[in-house]
Chain A
Amino acid sequence: MTELSNPIPSKPPRSQWLDVWDQFKSHRGALMGGILFLLIVATVYLGPFLWDIDATHIDIRARNQGPSWAHPFGTDQLGRDMLARMMAGGSTSVSVGLTAMMLALFLGSFIGVVAGFFKRLDGPLMRLTDLFLALPLLPLLLVMMLLFREPLNAAFGPEQGIFILIVCAIGITSWMPTARIVRGDVLAIKEREFVLAARSIGTADNKLITRHILPNVLSPIMVSATLGIATAIITESSLSFLGLGFPPDFPTWGRLLFDATDYLQQHPERVFWPGMAISLTVLSVNYLGDGLRDALDPRIRGR
């Protein structure tokens, strides 16, 4: 009983998230990635309030200008301000990335948890996941864009419609890795004693999942969330680049890059800005995910 003779802990207890934050801080790349990502998100959403030139305002006399104080990124072939267009495009791209990631995450976690928790559903749901993994995704995405564009445009208007379409298409085609990881973790956690204890006092299945299982599979979900943003942004830009994304007058980073390739010889910098924006966002998110993975893994923590 000597261990119990000193019941007063010498240090105040530390919450789990404080530990995670400490580990996260020590990963310099991840910290910088996180800051950069927040900066980009803040710029694209708050920037238009400070830089109040309209992204669709056409000033044909000021077309094809180089960088100046009036237009820091220059203007395009119709005299639209590139900085405003970059911010407008960024807010679309980032919104698509975030929303599609959330949809994919919801689908993936739901299917993963259900497949891991209910033994009867495990087989069919995992076959479904394998089936989706065997689909050629980019071609299917392109086909989906082709097919559902018109009806959705008619129902929600051209911008809302295509936004819903792209988000749903990306979400439906990218939930599989999350589902697999979550299922594996749920299978392991389900056998642990605390779940048995909770079950023995009569906890209902839905409470068992939300109170006991979900908090424990949060870390793989968070890591796939960050990676999901990266894939969603790249996929959206690829679709826009192939001409099957947003309509031409509605800027996104991929669309801006696609439009700029026509003026590659005369104005190569116009390709550079949107491309750089996409790459930096994805790079920062990838580093963020890398750091999160390390920070959320208790086996690595403290090293």
Chain B
Amino acid sequence: MLTFTIRRLVLSVPTLLFISLVIFLLLELAPGDPMAQVPLTVPPEVKEKMREALGLGQPAPIRFWKWLVQFFWIEPQVMIDHYFGTTFSQGDLRVISWQTRSPVMDIVIQRMPQTLWVVGTAYVVAIFIALPIGIYSAYRQYSWFDQLGTFISMVGFSVPPFFSGVLVIVIFSVQLGWFPSIYDTTHVVDSWDSFVYQLQQMIMPVMVLALQITAQLSRFMRASMLDNLNQDYVRTARAKGLSEYVVVMVHVLRNSMIPVVTVIALGIPAIFGGAIITEQVFKVNGIGQLLIGAIQANDLPMVQTLTFIFAILIVLFNLIADVLYGILDPRIRYD
């Protein structure tokens, strides 16, 4: 298991390097010029200096190497400095956003909590709804509950978030006026009333995201339960006289959770990056919104860093899912 993990970790390094190269080369083709916004009155030699300050004007391989150094060497140092008060990174040039002229990672850290709160809550809510639905629909296969669950998850698959989001805004905030349609990220929770307000503004985005995630997870849970319910060991457990609750909730559930846990792990990168559209609909200024803004403003360092962070998360959680699968299922041996 350990050798497998180490081998995969080592293999993921060239993968990530290649991905970062692909992203870099893609962005290399971008037509935009970061100096386009600078007034025409600025003399050309000053412009040239500004260009150099942004790290432009050098050949592409050098800029790629510089970006790699900044991302993998300087940014971790900044983080260590921040936590331990050391001064490793003093004077080093960090990855600078063209939009705000401030370090990209600082902005990412600022935006992270909003995304984590909204999308993370949705994920947790979805897991708690999806698992019981999946278990019960599999246990009573082809019952009305199962049919209804299938239909709802099909709807959850099919309704895109930009429609369901707008729809709940129309219903709950335009017609009924229960919840605010815009997520206010400056809101500080310091009293009961502000906590209630926070809940109110979180309900709609969480609802929209949770519907999608629930649809996928409950399908998986159901399929996995169905695979196990007809196994011999279930018959043995029943023959031993165990109660139906113990058979289903202990024997079958434990075995069916194995693939579901890995699917849950695989979905976690989406928490950080995938909710781009939902964040856009509800004006949550999280990571996804940051990316859209950066793309529209032609802020290439920001786009590159964000896309690469998403890629790291995907690779990392793929690895975690594989390792989890090996740990949970003793029949799987990678070595």
Residue contact B295 to A143, C-beta cutoff 8 Å: yes
Compute how far the CA of A281 lies from the CA of B87 in the bound complex, rounded to whole angstroms.
58
Compute how far the CA of A116 lies from the CA of B315 in the bound complex, rounded to whole angstroms.
24
Assuming the A-B contacts A134-B315, A136-B307, are A279 and B160 also in contact, with contact meaning beta carbons closer than 8 angstroms in the complex?
Answer: yes
What residues of B have a CB within 8 angstroms of the CB of A230 in the complex?
157-158
Q: Is B80 an interface residue (CB 8 A)?
A: no
Q: Which of B154, B159, B175, B307 contacts A143 (CB 8 A)?
A: B307
Residue contact A265 to B292, C-beta cutoff 8 Å: no
Q: Which of B47-55, B93-101, B200-208, B270-278 is near enough to bind chain A?
A: B270-278
What residues of A have a CB within 8 angstroms of the CB of B174 in the complex?
264-265, 268
Compute how far the CA of A175 lies from the CA of B160 in the bound complex, rounded to whole angstroms.
21
Residue contact B314 to A134, C-beta cutoff 8 Å: yes
Residue contact A134 to B295, C-beta cutoff 8 Å: no
Q: Which of B162, B296, B306 contacts A241 (CB 8 A)?
A: B162
Compute how far the CA of A275 lies from the CA of B276 in the bound complex, rounded to whole angstroms.
18
Assuming the A-B contacts A130-B15, A265-B174, A283-B154, are A138 and B163 also in contact, with contact meaning beta carbons closer than 8 angstroms in the complex?
Answer: no
Assuming the A-B contacts A143-B295, A254-B162, A271-B170, are A242 and B307 also in contact, with contact meaning beta carbons closer than 8 angstroms in the complex?
Answer: no
Q: Which of B167, B296, B298, B318 contacts A271 (CB 8 A)?
A: B167
User: Is the contact region of chain B dominated by helix, strand, or loop, or is it mixed?
Assistant: helix
Residue contact B166 to A261, C-beta cutoff 8 Å: yes
B139-158 vs A, Cβ < 8 Å mask (1 yes, 0 no): 00000000000000011011
Q: Which of B25-33, B38-46, B68-76, B111-119 is near enough to bind chain A?
A: B25-33
Residue contact B162 to A286, C-beta cutoff 8 Å: no
What residues of B have a CB within 8 angstroms of the CB of A287 in the complex?
154
B169-200 vs A, Cβ < 8 Å mask (1 yes, 0 no): 11000110000000000000000000000000
Q: Is A142 an interface residue (CB 8 A)?
A: yes
Residue contact A139 to B273, C-beta cutoff 8 Å: yes
B255 to chain A, nearest CB (A): 22
Compute how far the CA of A43 lies from the CA of B279 in the bound complex, rounded to whole angstroms.
33
Chain B interface residue count, Cβ-Cβ cutoff 8 angstroms: 43
What residues of B have a CB within 8 angstroms of the CB of A133 in the complex?
314
What residues of B have a CB within 8 angstroms of the CB of A242 in the complex?
276-277, 280, 292
Residue contact A139 to B310, C-beta cutoff 8 Å: yes
Residue contact B166 to A138, C-beta cutoff 8 Å: no
B259-283 vs A, Cβ < 8 Å mask (1 yes, 0 no): 0000000000100011011001000
A142 to chain B, nearest CB (A): 5
Q: Which of A49-57, A59-67, A77-85, A144-152 is near enough to bind chain B?
A: A144-152
A-contacting residues of B (Cβ < 8 Å)? 15, 18-19, 22-23, 26-27, 29-31, 154-155, 157-160, 162-163, 166-167, 169-170, 174-175, 269, 273-274, 276-277, 280, 291-292, 295-296, 298, 303, 306-307, 310-311, 314-315, 318
Query: Please, could you name 9 A-B residue pairs with CB atoms under 8 Å apart, sorted by A?
Result: A131-B19, A134-B19, A136-B311, A139-B310, A147-B29, A147-B30, A238-B162, A268-B175, A286-B157
The 9 closest A-B pairs by CB, nearest first: A275-B163, A136-B310, A283-B158, A282-B158, A268-B170, A241-B162, A279-B159, A139-B307, A134-B314
